[in-house]
Amino acid sequence: MRKLNLKNKVLFTIVVAMVGVAVISCKDDNDLDDKSVKISNVYNSGCMGSAYSPDQNSKDGESEDSFNVYNDGKTVFISHNNRVVFCGYDSISVSINVANDTIWVKEIEMGGVTNCMCLANTSYQINNLPSGEYTLLIRLCENDYYNPEVCGPVKYQTTVNL
């Protein structure tokens, strides 16, 4: 009777090990552990220049917002200039999600909603991306601490080759 229980335990252990190997081997090589991909060196300029009414599309004489994206083969550097923000904003935080060959970035304006707007610059880096070709998609979001995060459509899209 004892040998039968020992055989069953050994057989059970082997079956569990085989199932575990099968589950692990099902992971797609293109799946990226986006916990290893990090955002760093986030910079916010604060409001630049004078404020203007939300009824205006932009401050007279100011240029529209622009993105500059480049990489050094390891790190992706992103700067966003002349982003329109509420005058009462505290900061712009950045979050990232990587799925296969697509990098989703959200620039989230944190702070209170006010009745004036201003322009701000922000920049940040994406670290620990494996070599490859990626589609980078950036969305602009707002979070006023009282309401859930609200995001607009993709504001900027480009290809990044590392």
In-domain check, residue 139 = yes
Residue 146 binned pLDDT confidence (cut-offs 50, 70, 90):
confident
Report which of 116, 115, 101, 104 is spatially closest to residue 141, judged by C-alpha positions: 104
In-domain check, residue 78 = yes
Could you give the C-alpha distances from 133 to 15, 92, 93, 98, 103, in angstroms and in order?
Answer: 39, 27, 25, 12, 10
pLDDT digits (tens, 9 = 90+) for 114-128: 888 889 999 999 999
Total domains in the fold of the chain: 1
Report which of 78, 101, 96 is spatially closest to residue 32, judged by C-alpha positions: 101
Q: Are 126 and 70 in contact (CB under 8 A)?
A: no
The whole-number pLDDT of residue 13 equals 57
The whole-number pLDDT of residue 75 equals 96
In-domain check, residue 142 = yes
pLDDT more than 90, % of the chain = 48
Token output for 23: 């589950």
The whole-number pLDDT of residue 126 equals 97
Token output for 12: 């059970």
In this prediction the pTM is 0.72
The whole-number pLDDT of residue 86 equals 87
Tokens 């979001």 -> residue: 141
In-domain check, residue 63 = yes
| Boundaries of domain holding 124 | 31-161
Could you give the C-alpha distances from 93 to 3, 137, 159, in angstroms and in order?
Answer: 62, 16, 22
In-domain check, residue 118 = yes
Expressed in percent and rounded to 5, the helix, strand and coil fractions of the chain are: 15, 50, 35
In-domain check, residue 3 = no
In-domain check, residue 151 = yes
pLDDT digits (tens, 9 = 90+) for 38-89: 999 999 999 887 666 656 555 555 568 899 999 999 999 999 999 988 888 8
pLDDT digits (tens, 9 = 90+) for 16-33: 455 444 443 444 444 444
Q: Mean pLDDT across the chain, nearest whole number?
A: 80
In-domain check, residue 121 = yes
What residues does 148 pair with on adjacent strands?
Answer: none
